[in-house]
Structure 1
Amino acid sequence: MKVAFIYDCAYPWVKGGAEKRIYEIGKRLVMRGHEVHFFCLKWWGGENKIQRDGIYYHGVGGKVQLYKNGKRSINEALYFGLKTFTGLDDDFDLFDCQQFPYFPCFSSRIHSQFKKIPLVITWHEIWGDYWYKYLGKKGFLGKMVETLTTRLTKHHIAVSEKTRQDLLNMGIDNIELIPNGADLKKIKKIEPSSLESDVIFAGRLLKHKNIDILIKAISILKKEYPDIKCIIIGEGPEKENLKGITRQLNLEDNIHFLPFLGYDELIAHMKSSKVFVLPSTREGFGMVAIEANAAGLPVITVDHPKNAAKDLIEDNKCICKLSSIEIAQKISELLNSNKIHTFYKNYDWNNITKKIEKYYRTLNG
């Protein structure tokens, strides 16, 4: 098969769940004999079209700022939607367009109809009424675009059971559940980092990730564990604010900020830590939770209706309210316990790739 993935951000230049999903599935499809193309913004230098790990990357437009005032840029979404419309210049067996940032789904739909190519939309989360919180009064536009996107094709993939249920509640059926995963064999081979820590977080530094709550939890724990060490890995619009909170709470010796790291280095830091905390109130899946658990860590996350990561964790003792006090209590319990509840084993990228390959084939007869 000749498959085209469509998304504005591309791994390894931009690190996030959707980017990693396309990369991991894409390179495995190549190894299984398929031709894989990825249409995205041009995050690299040099030619507009390059090949990496067998995947053909097409830079349909120059890289632009993803966030404005801490929120995803609407101009960037419109820009990539337009560039997608003019950039899908080849014949494929199918398009797999990620739902975000919506407008490329409409461009892909036009190409799909004109060339009679199946269009799959992969859904990482449904925002629904959250749009009003994100955009205020303009939220109705976001919600309308999201709803219209569900009507562009009959072929939908949901990366989590929560997202599948949300789509069903919107009147969409014919949804294939194909989750995200982790490279379990690779994780097993990576050695721990020499930089040890007690608590670790990794991800984009955005408001809904609630890393400020984690920092306040570390401040509480410092009374019981004066030398507690926490590593926060990632970049994002909240970084300077988080560093400011760290200084205000006199935690410079306890909390260490690191930029986004290569995959091996990230896993190495996880393996040299004791507890992974994901205090996010909005996760379409929570791939990093799978990776942390596969690296041998218990994972703490919060009980929130928009947090699909909580569905991964079968041990309710690791799920708590969004509260610095409760998170501190959970961390303390786990630091004093050797019990690690594992849930990662069903999320191997090799098996997930076989599942999506089988699904793609049903669309091509």
Structure 2
Amino acid sequence: MNISFVSNVVYPFVTGGAEKRIHEIGTRLAAEGHDVTVYGRHFWDGPEVITHEGMTLRAVASGTELYADERRSITEAIDFSTRLLPHLRRNADDHDVIIASLFPYFPVLASRLTTLGTDTPLITTWHEVWLDYWDDYLGHLAPFGKAIERLTAKTPHYPIAVSSVTADRLTEIGPSRDRIEVVPNGIDVAQIESTEPADDGFTVLYAGRLIEDKNADLLLEAFDRVAHTAPNATLGIIGDGPEHDRLEQQAQTLEHADRVTMLGFLEEYDDVLAHMRAADVFVSPSTREGFGITFAEAMAADCTVIAAEHPESAASEVIDDAGFLASPTVDDVADVLERALSGERPNTEPTTRAQRYDWDSVAEQAEQCYRRAIDGNW
């Protein structure tokens, strides 16, 4: 197959979940002999077109700032999409399939324009469907975000969702459920298993953005309530975000504040994995997860995972019975955490569950979807 990916940011020159997914799937398909091209911004050194790990990287626009006031820049997205059009249009017939990175939506619309009059199918990958979350993200501009999300969902294409929760939310604004394929995000199981545990690790660990929906404040309070039952237990909080200062102040007021450490953002991914490998329990009471990659990573690290049960979170789908679910309240998180600290383990070994999210398996599932789109058997 001749496969093209469209993403304004390209891994590893810019790091993030969506671009890493493209990299992991793309490099594996290239290793199998497929021609893989990634259209993106010029964030790498050297010429505009290079070969990187078997893939062709083609810059259609220069590198630029992606955020404005801590939000993805609409101007950047429109600029990239405009510059993408002539490049992709010239080559659309040469590609058997085009996979456009969903957010920030405009590149999907531009990619669709380039496929008009061709037989080249367009696939998108939906990591999240925001719906009413636009109200929190854009405030008075939320109707604009909702309209673009809805327009993208209704644009003719083949949708892939990273979880059934995301697929179900997508049906509220676009295609019917039977038109949506589910291909999860992935992890490198071998890399996680071979990572040496951190010498200064913690008994209980959280890793993720420090935003309101992640509910790290519930974990702090829950840990403080049960710390007396596990006198040697410690809690580490990895991450940064708008809630950092408030959470740090909360941590300082806890009865067991001396056993809580705010580590901030860790630059090296291996350092995060090392802390997961050292931890006994991983807790993230997040109520909004389109997938929840940290749950898969923590299971591969053989942590007992505790997540929140919530209709807007795919946590229950990701961990199934290889972890524990709690309602997003201090009482319930504390109860489940106390059981985990006492040694209770889930029915299925976490490492066994994690295998289904290995990138090799994910790439194989994605390849099958690409072939079905090309053959018209979606």
The root-mean-square deviation of aligned C-alpha atoms, in Å, is: 2.8
TM-score, scaled relative to structure 1: 0.87
Distance 2:62 2:212 in 1: 28
Change (3 A) 1:245 1:13: farther
Which residue is 1:158 aligned to? 161
Partner residue of 1:301 out of 303, 307, 321: 307
Q: What SS does the aligned partner of 2:24 have?
A: helix
Residue 129 in structure 1 maps to residue 139 in structure 2: no
Contact 1:17-1:286 within 8 A present in 2 as well: no
Distance 1:252 1:63 in 2: 42
Distance 2:299 2:242 in 1: 27
Partner residue of 1:257 out of 242, 259, 263: 263
Which residue is 1:77 aligned to? 77
Residue 54 in structure 1 maps to residue 54 in structure 2: yes
Partner residue of 1:211 out of 200, 212, 216: 216
Change (3 A) 1:344 1:239: same
Which residue is 2:354 aligned to? 344
> What's the offset of the Cα at 1:289?
0.8
Change (3 A) 1:326 1:68: farther
Residue 143 in structure 1 maps to residue 146 in structure 2: yes
Distance 1:282 1:307 in 2: 5
> What's the offset of the Cα at 1:286?
1.0
Distance 1:166 1:28 in 2: 30
Change (3 A) 1:81 1:223: farther
State how 1:283-362 maps to structure 2 within 5 Å.
283-315=289-321, 318-340=324-346, 341=348, 342=350, 343-362=353-372
Distance 2:50 2:315 in 1: 34
Residue 167 in structure 1 maps to residue 170 in structure 2: yes
Which residue is 2:373 aligned to? 363
Unpaired stretches in structure 2, ≥5 consecutive residues = none
Tell me the percent identity.
36
More off after superposition, 48-57 vs 301-310: 48-57
Partner residue of 1:94 out of 94, 97, 105: 97
Contact 1:121-1:153 within 8 A present in 2 as well: no
Contact 1:231-1:258 within 8 A present in 2 as well: no
More off after superposition, 144-153 vs 254-263: 254-263
Aligned residues: 364
Contact 1:233-1:261 within 8 A present in 2 as well: no
Residue 64 in structure 1 maps to residue 69 in structure 2: no
Which residue is 2:193 aligned to? 188
Unpaired stretches in structure 1, ≥5 consecutive residues = none
Letter paired with 2:69: K
Contact 1:84-1:107 within 8 A present in 2 as well: yes
TM-score, scaled relative to structure 2: 0.84
> What's the offset of the Cα at 1:316?
9.4
Distance 1:230 1:289 in 2: 17
Letter paired with 1:207: E
Letter paired with 1:312: V
Contact 1:227-1:254 within 8 A present in 2 as well: no
